[in-house]
Amino acid sequence: MKPPRLGLRADQFEYVQLILLAAAVGALGALGNLGFRALIEFFTWIFLHLESNLLGIEKGGLFRILMPVVLLSGGALLVALDWFFPEDILGYGFPKFLEQVNLSSARIRRNWIVLKALGAALSLGSGASVGREGPIAQIDGAIGSAIAQLRGLSADRAKVLVAAGAGAGIATTFNAPIGGLMFALEIVLLGQTETANLALLIISTFTAVVTSRAVLGNATVFAPPLFVIKSYWEMFTYALMGGVLGALGALYIRFFNETGSLFRRLPIPVWSKLGIGLFLVGVIAIFLPANLSDGYPIINLTMAGEFGLGMLVAMCAAKFFASSLSLGSGAPGGVFGPIFFIGTMAGGAFHRVSALILPHLTGPRGSYALVGLGAFLAGTTHAPLTALFLLFEMTRNFNVALPAMIAAVAALIVARAIESESIDTYSLAREGKTLQLSQERLALTQIPVSSVMSKEVTVVSANTRVSDVLHIAGQTHQSTLPVVDSDGYLSGLIITRDLLALLGGGDLGPLANAFDIAKMQCPELTPDQNLDFASQMMEHEGLDELPVVAELYGGRFLGMLTRQHIAQALNRVTLSLSALATRDQNIYWATGYRVVRLEVSEAAAGQTIRELDPRARFGVSVLALQSAGEPDTGFVPVAPDRRLKAGDLVVAAGRPSDIRHFERVLQRGGEAAQANGSRAKT
């Protein structure tokens, strides 16, 4: 009987590694969260206790007018920190984080682990009306990115570890592993992930919560009272509340982002904008000190039914304005805390009104405040599952499920009907960026214009006579004719269909030339832009071809990109993927083998594959080669007697140790070949 194999295939071994990395991200994310909490408590003691005592603010009375001084002192430290680390400290950075994860390579700066913690802790500690959840998601996401970079993972794998870190941060904050999982899935990854990656997210968030509970116990941030349903007729009341909070959420999305846009347009220095915002927040805090920081203790009091209708409305409105002012002016922090605060106050206020109008359809106070928190979260973030599971894990009561679902869905429907973008995607959408990409568009974003553009293009010089332009247009299949000057720089673009109008106009004028009839402000592409961007530009401009230049606005003309080029590139990608997916038999590399891309150095230039003899010397097979002089031709089978050039790329397959020997030869040249070959044989 043949004994079972205990070894793993290369793909299986890689997945085991990813499982271990996800667990490490979760554990480190929990520790990062604990450190962030300690930092917030430290700065809170410095500003809201020590400094407030020194200024006499805690005595009340006229001393409370000094409250803006506390916020401005925190702002001064933030400005100093921003001077040393510009673009890493100030502002609401979560939309940029989502852009890096979903539209870029998911490489998050490692210094964010410290800088985001410092910035947000200073902001919260001095009383800015912001939340802690966005920063902790970025901090733990940066931890996931750092681990991915350390292991040299691909962009797709790095994206999952970044999301795993962000989810671990939220899970640890609320002691809610499933809520953190839904946050990573719905908000960070936008619901686009594979089942295998979902398992990694689960491992990370649960590991984070286990680590946190081992240190702090099983305590939660919020302590809602026992959830009670007075009558199932209340579901109509909860649905009505969800609709109201959905409309309020859409209003908050627009007001929040427009406030930030207003501050960005102000023609004053950054430190002045931050000072204005924090001063106004301090003025509000003179009358409503409960509005300071994220207000978690006030949320707990509201759930316990401590405040009347007037105070609830006042605190809801104050947080509505103060959070927009804080984050819009540049104070670092998140938006979840303000959303929780506003939703809780609005839910409590709705209960007071509903108890007067519909007393028989209105239950206990705390229940509406709790469900209001979840409904407002669903309406502003467009992430209903995150809201539902956070509520469920905070209460651990099945009774909350039905009213929470009804209110959250109603809020989501109303909010999306008024504003289609969430609070995090609104600003990106205004910049022309969307995180919801189809697989085809995602593929196009990864293909640069330079890889598919045509260099064999019919062009006309700027001084070509119109009669000659007409003759050239009749002989080419192009729908546009680039006009270039004597140095090869693009001067303009002639749309050949526009020439028909010239023909109908009679005499074209013997002195007119190509430059006179060309469009000067024509659309242009650069080689490093991607095909998705090019496709959108063609659609907006109504053109089937676009010129490619070395740099925008009159750069040297390089070639043309057509819709046909884009379609062919997309077809090649689709066919390649379908060919891999529809093989009758899957092909697995044996355990321990890998395929790599190696660059030929100056030292190895001039040698041939036959002379290097990698298969005999090292057990390495060279599969293909890309010429350094013609990178657009792609990889082709390599002839054994072809002379290698510096910068050539070769695709080689073999065991990692053997590939390293061969890589040294390509780096150090032929003089090392024999020595490495001898070591490989022994």
How many C-beta neighbours within 10 Å does residue 613 have? 14
Q: What is the mean pLDDT of residues 105-113?
A: 81
Confidence at residue 672, expressed as pLDDT on a 0 to 100 scale: 44
Same domain, 276 and 413: yes
- pLDDT one-digit tens code per residue, 335-379: 988 999 999 999 999 988 988 888 777 777 778 888 999 999 999
Look at 553 and 460; give whichever has higher pLDDT: 460
The length of the chain, given as a count of residues: 682
Considering the domain boundaries, does residue 435 fall inside one? no
In one-letter notation, the amino acid at residue 89 is I
**In a shared domain, residues 470 and 370:** no
| Residue 4 in domain | no
Residue 166 pLDDT > 60: yes
The Cα 63–Cα 186 span in angstroms is 46
pLDDT at site 421: 87
pLDDT score of 161 more than 50? yes
Name the residue among 196, 205, 203, 194 with its Cα closest to residue 170.
205
Same domain, 202 and 270: no
What CATH number is associated with residue 552? 3.10.580.10
pLDDT at residue 468 tops 50: yes
Query: In this model, does residue 74 exceed pLDDT 70?
Result: yes
pLDDT of residue 673: 45
pLDDT value of residue 522: 77
pLDDT at 486 over 60: yes
pLDDT band with cut points at 50, 70 and 90 for residue 511: low
Residue 242 near residue 406, CB atoms below 8 Å: yes
Domain end (from 381, 398, 430): 430
Helix axes 563-581, 531-541, angle to 10 degrees: 140
Assigned domain for 584 exists: no
Give the Cα separation of 673 and 682 in Å (integer).
Answer: 14
Last residue of a domain, one of 376, 397, 430: 430
Q: Looking at residues 526-544, what average pLDDT do you find?
A: 79
Q: Are residues 249 and 127 in the same domain?
A: no
pLDDT of 200-230, one tens digit each? Answer: 889 999 999 999 888 877 777 777 777 777 7
Show the domain range for 421: 234-430
CA 516 to chain CA centroid, Å, is 45
Q: 436 in a domain, yes or no?
A: no
Of the listed ranges 378-382, 491-495, 609-613, the least confidently predicted one is 491-495
Which pLDDT value is given to residue 478?
78
Give the tens place of pLDDT for each residue, 249-305: 999 999 999 999 899 888 899 999 999 999 999 999 999 888 888 888 898 888 888
How far is 186 from 48, CA to CA, in rounded Å? 35
- Based on the domain organization, do 169 and 52 belong to the same domain? yes
Residues 516 and 612 in one domain: no
Q: Is residue 223 domain-resident?
A: no
Do 259 and 391 lie in one domain? The reply is: yes
* pLDDT attached to residue 157: 80
Distances (CA, A) of 24 to 15, 18, 161, 162, 490: 14, 10, 10, 12, 53
Residue 508 lies in a domain: yes
Q: How far are the Cα atoms of 460, 513, 548, 559 from residue 516, in angstroms, in the given order?
A: 12, 5, 21, 22
Task: Choose among 590, 598, 418, 680: nearest CA to 12.
Answer: 590
89 touches 121 (CB < 8 A) = no
Phi, psi for residue 481 in degrees, rounded to 5: -125, 110
User: Above 50 in pLDDT, residue 5?
Assistant: no
Residues 172 and 303 in one domain: no
Average pLDDT taken over every residue of the chain: 81
Q: Is residue 587 part of a domain?
A: no
pLDDT tens readout for residues 566-589: 887 777 666 655 554 444 444 555
Q: What is the mean pLDDT of residues 662-668?
A: 82
Reported as a single tens digit per residue, the pLDDT across 402-430 is: 888 999 999 999 999 998 888 988 887 77
Greater confidence, 650 or 380? 380
191-194, Cβ contacts within 8 angstroms, sequence gap of 24 or more? 193/160, 193/163
Integer angstrom CA distances of residue 74 from 9, 70, 277, 284, 555? 55, 7, 12, 17, 47
Residue 110 has pLDDT above 50, yes or no: yes
The model's pLDDT over 89-107, given as tens digits with 9 standing for 90+, comes to 888 888 888 877 877 667 7
* 81 and 187 in a common domain: yes
CATH number for the domain including 147? 1.10.3080.10
Pairs from 51-54 (Cβ < 8 Å, separation ≥ 24): none
Looking up residue 640, the CATH number of its domain turns out to be: 3.30.70.1450
Q: How far apart are the first and last CA of the chain?
A: 35
Mean pLDDT along residues 227-234: 78
* Predicted confidence (pLDDT) per residue in 238-252, tens digit: 999 999 999 999 999
At residue 632, the pLDDT reads: 59
pLDDT at residue 446, as a whole number: 66
What pLDDT is attached to residue 42?
93
Query: 500-514 burial string, b = 16+ CB within 10 Å, else e?
Result: eebeeeeebeeeebb
**What would the pLDDT profile of 40-58 be if each residue is shown by its tens digit?**
999 999 998 898 888 888 7
Q: Using 50, 70 and 90 to split pLDDT, how confident is the model at 175? A: confident
User: pLDDT-derived band of residue 517, with 50, 70 and 90 as boundaries?
Assistant: low
pLDDT at site 633: 63
Give dist(CA 569, CA 571) in Å, integer: 5
Question: Which run of H or of E encompasses 560?
Answer: strand 557-562
For position 530, what pLDDT does the model report? Answer: 79
Residue 438 predicted with pLDDT over 60: no
Query: HSE (CB half, 13 Å, CA atoms) of 561?
Result: 30
pLDDT at 36 over 50: yes
Instruction: Judge if 181 and 304 occupy the same domain.
Output: no
The burial class, CB within 10 Å (0-12 / 13-18 / 19+), for 632 is middle
Residue 674 has pLDDT above 50, yes or no: no
For the chain, how many structural domains are there in total? 4
Q: Are residues 545 and 640 in the same domain?
A: no
- Domain match, 63 and 33 both: yes
Confidence of residue 512 (pLDDT cuts 50, 70, 90): low
Q: Tell me, yes or no, whether 576 lies in a domain.
A: no
Is residue 437 predicted with pLDDT exceeding 60? Answer: no
Share of the chain above pLDDT 90, in %: 21
